[in-house]
Structure 1
Amino acid sequence: MGRGRVELKRIENKINRQVTFSKRRNGLLKKAYELSVLCDAEVALIIFSSRGKLYEFGSAGAGITKTLERYQHCSFTSQQNNVELETQNWYQEVSKLKAKYESLQRTQRNLLGEDLGPLSVKELQNLEKQLEGALAQARQRKTQILIEQMDDLRRKERHLGDINKQLKIKLEAEGHTLKAIESLWNANAAAHGNDSFSMHPSQPISIESCQPDPVLQMGYHHYVPAEGSSAPKNMAGETNFIQGWVL
């Protein structure tokens, strides 16, 4: 019976890992030598161990250094060819875009009514159809915008009408309140018979208007002798005389 298939993974045992490396390295070097001899191939093999030790093999006639130089030359040439190919593709793309740009500019001038001389009758007919189609779309869009604006204005009109109704109701309510206050003031004026209450209720009543006018008095108050008093009459006359200075 043959051995089972070994799973490829890192060998955890250090000794077993070193033994396996030595066996596989020798086998790989042997295979490289056999390939170069049997197939007349130029082979270069480089191996670095886990400790950094170098193992290499080169074909007998070439050597590893010459093989590496040849590899670098081939890689550079391949990269250079790739760059040239990519540059050529970009140049073609730029040429296509430039031609398309010039065509669009020419079409724009034709739509503006310029450079119509080189156009044929068929091209002019196509241009006329394009202009008619563009004009129809522009008119349709303009009509749609006008309809939207009219709907917006109608909504604003309804909103302002509602606000106007609310303000009217509020003003009417305030007017009824003012009329009730005015009737109350008129009723009070009629009950007291005072002209001061007949003023408009909206006019404020100041405290100064309710206070009496100031009186300037000079001398003594009126003196009236009591019955049986022994005060002389001339003193009573002087008192009455002084009372005349009261303003």
Structure 2
Amino acid sequence: MGRGKIEIKRIENANSRQVTFSKRRAGLLKKAQELAILCDAEVAVIIFSNTGKLFEFSSSGMKRTLSRYNKCLDFSEAAVAEYKTEKQDSKEVDGLKDEIAKLQMKQLRLLGKDLNGLSLKELQLLEQDLNEGLLLVKEKKEKLLMEQLEQSRVQEQRAMLENETLRRQVEELRGFFPPTECSVPAYLEYYPLGRKNSLMNHSSATPDVASDGAVEKGDSDTTLHLGLPSNLYHKRKAPERETNSNDSRSQLGVL
């Protein structure tokens, strides 16, 4: 007869429980060793009895195996967290893609394209949206125009104030320099036209006679003569004539 199936539950008898623990512990450690040898696996077993006694087995050293286990555990947790993050990001990306597609469709409809399949109510809502947008655009344009007009007015007022300030400064400067009567120089005189003709003809008449003759003839034309008076002109001519006569006499004496 075969051995009957043992019910897996806590053994109430302490002696039987201790005997079973010793037998099964030895079998478990033996199986772990065989698994490590046969399959070239890194196996570690840690057992604590009910009295707190430690039993262990490791094919590559317990510290090395535990260190490797901790690294794998940390990596597993990081991998799980990364997977959750990627999954959440993927959901957000899918939602954003759907929203972008809806916005693109709405933009096309606002431009009057891709209107097929819209009902009368949807077309009315689209028309309402377009009218509201047009009103907003007009309000914004009027606001900008008013702002530009106000800026122009401010600049105009500023320019007027600057002009007024400059005008006052000019008036103040004029007050520092009162007008004075400037005497006309001696060489800037008005002579009758007859005297001018007499000077051009190199006549020997005096200025008084020439002027009297012009007055008697009733000639009222006058001209501005720039240069020395006529009497000085004749005085200059006289020494020149004397010099010429002296030169001619000296030449005759030499001959």
* TM-score, with structure 1 as normaliser: 0.48
Larger Rg: 2
* TM-score, with structure 2 as normaliser: 0.46
Higher relative contact order (CA 8 A, sep 6+): 2
